[in-house]
Amino acid sequence: MRNPYEILGIKEGASEQEIKDAYREQVKKYHPDRHQDNPLHDLAEAKLQEINEAYDYLMKNKGKGGYRGYSGGGSRSGPQSQNPEFMEIRRMIDSGNLSGAEAALNRISTKNAEWFFLSGMLSLRKGWYDDAVNNVQTALSIDPSNIEYRNAMNSIMASGSGYRTAAYGRGYATNNDLCRMMQCYCCADMLCDCI
């Protein structure tokens, strides 16, 4: 990832207040809600994720000197953050080489949090929303303190809320109690295979 100061459009060594102000401006500019019916919606989401990562990095490292080769990923920890295979898969997903990323993921036998996260990002790029949610949720359950995973989940859920909001009140849910009961039934069946 590029220098986080460049991403936020500020000079190195900027004050905490300057970082916060620049962050707010960038979020307003690239928030996916502003680009909902625009072909650049996916690009705005990716840019917002990059802005969030840059902001998180700068706020965590304030007072520790300047930029020192930030490599993205929020609070990634452990060996997966240095794994060259995962770094290459990220590059493939970012560049749109989805078949290459999928093949590389399938070659990895150890399925850790980073594997599930990248699998979720791949599914999202393919348009498989439910699969993306499931994989990112799994990554979060393995590494709940990872900011990158949390931001991605929030972004996925926010993008899906447009569909839920648009359908609400159009006759799809005429009996809310019945719908809730069916949702509970389906969830119970999926979770424990007890029905």
- What DSSP string runs through 84-152? HHHHHHHHHHHHT-HHHHHHHHHH-----HHHHHHHHHHHHHHT-HHHHHHHHHHHHHH-TT-HHHHHH
Per residue in 53-110, pLDDT (tens digit) is 888 888 887 655 444 443 344 444 444 455 788 888 988 888 888 899 999 999 998 8
pLDDT of residue 105: 94
Query: What predicted TM-score, i.e. pTM, was given to this entire model?
Result: 0.46
Note the Cα 67 to chain centre separation in Å: 23
Per residue in 106-158, pLDDT (tens digit) is 999 889 999 999 999 999 888 888 899 999 999 999 988 888 888 888 888 87
Q: Tell me how far apart the alpha carbons of residues 57 and 59 are, in angstroms, rounded to a whole number.
A: 6
Q: Tell me how far apart the alpha carbons of residues 147 and 135 are, in angstroms, rounded to a whole number.
A: 16
The full DSSP string for 32-68 is GGGGTTSTTHHHHHHHHHHHHHHHHHHHHTTTS-S--
pLDDT at 9 over 80: yes
Per residue in 12-32, pLDDT (tens digit) is 888 889 999 999 998 888 877
For CATH 1.25.40.10, the residue range(s) in the chain are 76-165
Q: Tell me how far apart the alpha carbons of residues 114 and 80 are, in angstroms, rounded to a whole number.
A: 6
- The token duo for 35 is 């680009």
For CATH 1.10.287.110, the residue range(s) in the chain are 1-72
* Length of the chain, in residues: 195
Q: May I ask the CATH class of domain 1-72?
A: mainly alpha
Architecture of domain 76-165: Alpha Horseshoe (1.25)
